[in-house]
Structure 1
């Protein structure tokens, strides 16, 4: 097994998705903190690793991968003892892929990043109400996606769960999930919280993220 080095920041949701996957696979790795708030990701050394200067970045025997979705799919394909986390059955895999694209294009881009980028980069602490509405819509979709299933892409735990839980637990820093309105999403979160590696891989980082957001004293416009 080649040496793996994960570059990132624990508070980052995509980094936590990779940490959850590595923990589920029981794959050893070295974690190197890259503080994006201090612009360490813009250093010449890091740009050589990842010209897009994003975290997470995974180093595999001198090769560099970035984008959490690409990384976690690679990790399961490379190190998974079974295909349960990323099924080889094409229909099942397509559902997992759809959920991963939903996380990337909707939950992260339209939900989280559309708030955090102006908040962190420009200090805009008044968040437009449509950002609040976008988060509510995301919760609505997830409640529908779960249906009668225990997990986000069907009856078994997959990398789609890892990707989405990391971002949803970060969205809660802005809009707390109403467990009465979203009982299936609430039960799904609690189910994942029972994983033996959940706290170290996601819970701690989500709390760090939440405490940081709280200090911004953000408000939603009316």
Structure 2
């Protein structure tokens, strides 16, 4: 049975799943969801994912949503023993911590800053931007003396975080002024399998979408 991924190209969480699949050499059956026309609210999609979010993975009839749960599932099923999600308890705990930092602080603060601009036509909020900057400073601290965000090896934490951080470019958030973040960013771009196809194409789509929305 194919592994289906319901997705939107520009979505950072969707790109994190695609990066993980590439790292596992796993082919996904991509199913584009037209959210502008409410395809995510149709009964057949709500039956799969009542949260009506993307990404949603369906593996042999089994649906999973929330990108970080999806990428962990993919490694547990298709990459047992992979360094992407190490089995040693302390190493795995560090990857988990970085993933929770991503969803609860770094990516959440980014959303809090950009969503009012994109969907509410609100001006940029300097206080919310300052919180994004504070999260980037924490990420920079995590990377001090480390090649990747959770140690010496590429992990799921890198793939999830870079999908979000790369999206900062669409809003002119200068994450590259943080030396460790800049070094890490270039390292992951050059070492994550299929990076261009799995992340940069979607990032270009996001940039085009944001430009069209903010210019209205």
Q: With structure 1 as the length reference, what TM-score do the two structures score?
A: 0.90
Asked whether the equivalents of residues 106 and 136 of structure 2 are also in contact (C-alpha less than 8 Å), the reply is no
Q: Look up the SS of the partner of 1:188 in the other structure.
A: helix
Q: Which runs of 4+ in 1 moved over 6 A?
A: none
Q: 1:47 to 1:27 in 2, by over 3 A?
A: same
2:113 corresponds to: 115
* Number of equivalences: 214
**Pairwise CA distance, 1:56:** 0.4
- The CA distance in 2 between the partners of 1:217 and 1:25, in whole Å, is 36
1:193 corresponds to: 189
1:57-108: per-residue Cα shift (whole Å, max 9, x none)?
0001111000000000000011115330001111111110011011111122
Q: Extract unaligned runs of 5+ from structure 1.
A: none
Q: Extract unaligned runs of 5+ from structure 2.
A: none
2:154 corresponds to: 157
- The CA distance in 2 between the partners of 1:119 and 1:37, in whole Å, is 17
Instruction: Please say if 1:26 is aligned against 2:20.
Output: no
- The CA distance in 1 between the partners of 2:28 and 2:70, in whole Å, is 13
**Higher helix residue share:** 2
- The CA distance in 2 between the partners of 1:48 and 1:115, in whole Å, is 31
Asked whether the equivalents of residues 125 and 217 of structure 1 are also in contact (C-alpha less than 8 Å), the reply is no
- The CA distance in 2 between the partners of 1:139 and 1:205, in whole Å, is 22
- The CA distance in 2 between the partners of 1:96 and 1:149, in whole Å, is 13
Q: With structure 2 as the length reference, what TM-score do the two structures score?
A: 0.93
